[in-house]
Amino acid sequence: MVPKRLTLAAMPSAAETLKGTDAFQDRMIGVVRSIQDEIIGALETMEGECGGNARFKSDVWERPDGGGGLTRVLSGGVFLEKAGVSVSAVHGELDTEFAAHLPGDGASFFATGVSLVLHPYSPHVPTAHANFRYIEQGGKAWIGGGGDLTPYYFHADDKEHFHGAWRELCARHPDVADYERFRDWCERYFHLGHRAEHRGVGGIFFDNLFVSEKDEAHREKAVAFLSEGGRAFLEAYAPIARRRLHEPVTPEQRDWQEIRRGRYVEFNLVHDRGTAFGLKTGGRTESILMSLPPRAKWVYDHEPEPGTPEAALLEELRRPVPEEES
């Protein structure tokens, strides 16, 4: 069944829609909603600092087969041309064929998470993505997520700052996280093999990190790591955005930004597991595809002139891919 968007008159509160079937599921919903609120508050503050008055609009939706979500989107801002920060909590039965590709067991599932994508107006400010999720399938449960940075112009200090925030997050949670492993995982995951290019300068990515209900200490460490991820994203991204926001923008730079956004679209539609999971489990299409930029273009066989800042970005994006873990 197709998820339905609710009219204002029929719209329940997010609390009524975002419910689990036990206390721990409700707790995890609370974790991802707190991340959503914190990040939106910071982004609206930055929008105001730029002289803009755009704000996130809320859209509550229900999944007829179980659960729903709260999608919050900002469009046409001074800082953010388009941004989405979405929370969902869905449950029910998986398609048998799809269930076989997941690390759990059986067909019953529960999933809650927060996903965000920021598309700034200025090509000097990178696009950014992050998500943090908790999933149950049958008798198994796991967490996944991470964050990555997609610049249009490469700055080594921006890359170092972004990675530094994730490195520090992982160092604070050594029993759950491994920065070097998660960094390399991100390098392999956010790679467009058909282009032989990375999507951006990386970050961290982790998936299928099992959470043991029988080991409460381990479960608490996993929850702490996931819940701190939202704060780490702001520490990683906000300083970069602030120092690049006011650089002058030319039409040629905007054109380059739209060409590179085309690569972003390609990754999300061809490779992204979150997109596939949402569509396969009957999620709301508008919320799943909120990650796509407002404007993008595809120019046949485009290659920038050697020695230009645009060529320097491609040199960075065509770096080697780390080998698979043994």
pLDDT tens over the chain, length 326 residues? 445 444 433 445 676 778 888 999 999 999 999 999 999 999 999 999 999 999 999 999 998 889 999 999 999 999 999 999 999 999 999 888 888 888 888 889 999 999 999 999 999 999 999 999 999 998 899 999 999 999 999 999 999 999 999 999 999 999 999 999 999 999 999 999 999 999 999 999 999 898 877 788 999 999 999 999 988 999 999 999 999 999 999 999 999 999 999 999 999 999 988 888 888 887 788 888 888 999 999 999 999 999 999 999 999 999 999 998 76
For 15-78, strand residue ranges (E) read 57-62, 67-75
Dist CA 85 CA 73 (whole Å): 6
What does the pLDDT look like over 206-227, one tens digit per residue?
998 988 777 889 999 999 999 9
Dist CA 321 CA 185 (whole Å): 10
Distances (CA, A) of 141 to 50, 136, 179, 213: 42, 4, 22, 8
Q: Which of 86, 132, 127, 136 is nearest to 106 (CA)?
A: 136
Residue 129: active-site member:
yes
Which residues are CB-contacts of 212 (< 8 A; sequence separation ≥ 6)?
Answer: 218, 219
- What pLDDT does residue 12 have? 52
Dist CA 29 CA 12 (whole Å): 17
Q: Considering the candidates 91, 124, 129, 163, report the single residue annotated as catalytic.
A: 129
